[in-house]
Amino acid sequence: MKMSFAFFREALLRGIQYIVGMFIFDMPPLLTIRNFIISRLFHAGKGLSLGNSCFFLCPHFEEVTNSLLLFGNDVYINRNVEIDYSGGVSIGNNVWISQNVLIETHEHVISKAPKSLWIIKRSQLVIEDEAWIGANVIILESVNRVGKGAIVAAGAVVVKDVPDMAIVGCVPAKYIGTRDKEND
């Protein structure tokens, strides 16, 4: 593997995230430091709150043109969340992401060729304002949008876009209802 700027940048970002992601940084004064550092490393609005062991990464240490991670205001991310932003991820305002969530924006196109020659396909993901991603959810590369006010139920595997105000769940995720707009 040829060492590149992208490799060193990604290694540095992961190292810093590992240090500030440790449990000790859950203590109130240190939690403020964690949130400050992560909001400076990535494009974050005000009020970003992160649990421990959260990682935001570009797999394969490649320089990717659209690999940006953008956070809106008042984004709450619980512990053990991993976001692959190699395709680009934009998270809106007042979004909640519960514990143990995995978000992927790339996949390997399987072929008869050796795995090292497989093509990597990336896609951009937008999580709109007021969305809530439940615990243990997996969002795959085929998803481009989680709609405004949408709820993804715990344990769901999301393989297609989620409409505004929809509630989805199951494996694979399917429509199970709509948020009651009168209580918004």
Instruction: Please report, for residues 39, 90, 97, 139, 156, the alpha-carbon distance to residue 136 in angstroms, rounded to integers and kept in the order given.
Output: 24, 20, 10, 10, 7
Model confidence pLDDT, tens digit, residues 33-49? 888 888 888 889 999 99
Domain that includes residue 57, residue range = 5-183
Per-residue pLDDT band at 17 (split at 50, 70, 90): confident
Model confidence pLDDT, tens digit, residues 132-183? 999 999 999 999 999 999 999 999 999 999 999 999 999 999 999 998 765 5
What average pLDDT does range 51-78 have in this prediction?
A: 83
pLDDT for position 1 = 47
What average pLDDT does range 6-28 have in this prediction?
A: 83
- For the chain, give the mean pLDDT: 89
CATH of the domain at 40: 2.160.10.10
Model confidence pLDDT, tens digit, residues 83-116? 999 888 999 999 999 999 999 998 888 889 898 8
Residue 155, C-beta contacts closer than 8 angstroms, at least 6 positions apart: 134, 135, 136, 137, 169, 171
Strand partners, 43: 70
**3-class DSSP string for the chain:** CCCCHHHHHHHHHHHHHHHHCCHHHHCHHHHHHHHHHHHHHCEECCCCEECCCCEEECHHHCCCCCCCEEECCCCEECCCCEEECCCCEEECCCCEECCCCEECCEEEECCCCCHHHCEEEECCEEECCCCEECCCCEECCCCCEECCCCEECCCCEECCCECCCEEEECCCCEEEEECCHHHC
What average pLDDT does range 59-78 have in this prediction?
A: 81
Domains in the chain, number: 1
* 107 vs 65 pLDDT, higher one: 107
